[in-house]
Amino acid sequence: MSVDELKTLARGLRVDIVRMIEAAGSGHPGGSLSVVDILAALYTRVLRHRPEEPGWPERDRFLLSKGHACPALYAVLAHCGYFPKEKLSTLRRLDSPLQGHPDRLRLPGVEASTGSLGLGLSIGIGMALAAKLDKKGFHTWCVLGDGEMQEGQVWEAAMAAPQLKLGNLSMIADLNGGQIDGPVAEVMDLEPLSDKLKAFRWDVRVIDGHDFKQILDALEWAAAAKDRPAAILAKTVKGKGVSFMEGVIDWHGKAPNKDEADRAVREIESA
């Protein structure tokens, strides 16, 4: 899939995200729209996976630690063929496999039930360490939110991964600058984040999380790591692609009504 094709795919995924949250009447559009470019590139160009065989032992593992952004993951999984796209409209229904946070017992392609913030990187360490001990070749990827990275357990895990020499583990931080209580820098500033991770002995690359060339280059760089884990710090825009959502904290966890969703879709499709 070329960069132009990825851009087209991302527009379609953004429409899916808006429509499924509109149908549910609740959800998290801001962080779903900020991370979807990264997931589109990862799943179509880098991640080794088999939608027809979700439990393939040699598959790469993916963890969406910021589980509230699951509409982005569900849209990508549907595109890849893990389940029919028609199911997207069942987001957050009681009988649906598409819960408000990912549920590994309900949905093929979900590696861990996430959304209790701060846990994903620790789960990823377990998976990466298991691969190393079992001499398996799969890579583990973990996407965290910047608000989530205020959790202390993230930093315990960040300290452990280099100590264990987990070059088969990569962290992707979706740095959209906002969390439910306000701007990340005002709630609990993470900066200088790159310097902190380097001090913990991570290899670090900072990118524009909406530039597909930078995303692909960084993913390939991280996948080639050997003895140290890699961290991709992706600068993104909360609500990317929808002008009235971009950078607006209120859209962290608010569903658009029909008029707002129609406007959002028009903007996305005309971009």
- Can you give the pLDDT at residue 178? 97
The residue type of 178 is: G
Reference 176, options 251, 256, 239; nearest CA is 239
The encoded tokens of residue 80 equal 């890849």
Positive or negative, the CA dihedral 89, 102, 29, 60 is negative
Instruction: Look up the pTM and report it.
Output: 0.97
- Can you give the pLDDT at residue 1? 84
Average pLDDT across the chain, whole number: 97
The residue type of 177 is: G
Reference 65, options 172, 169, 160, 150; nearest CA is 172
Superfamily of domain 3-270: Thiamin diphosphate (ThDP)-binding fold, Pyr/PP domains (3.40.50.970)
pLDDT in tens, 137-191: 999 999 999 999 999 999 999 999 999 999 999 999 999 999 999 999 999 999 9
- Can you give the pLDDT at residue 167? 97
- Can you give the pLDDT at residue 76? 98
Which value, to the nearest 10 degrees, does the dihedral of the CA atoms of residues 233, 164, 50, 82 take? -60
Q: How far apart are CA 215 and CA 210, in angstroms?
A: 7
pLDDT in tens, 32-76: 999 999 999 999 999 999 999 999 999 999 999 999 999 999 999
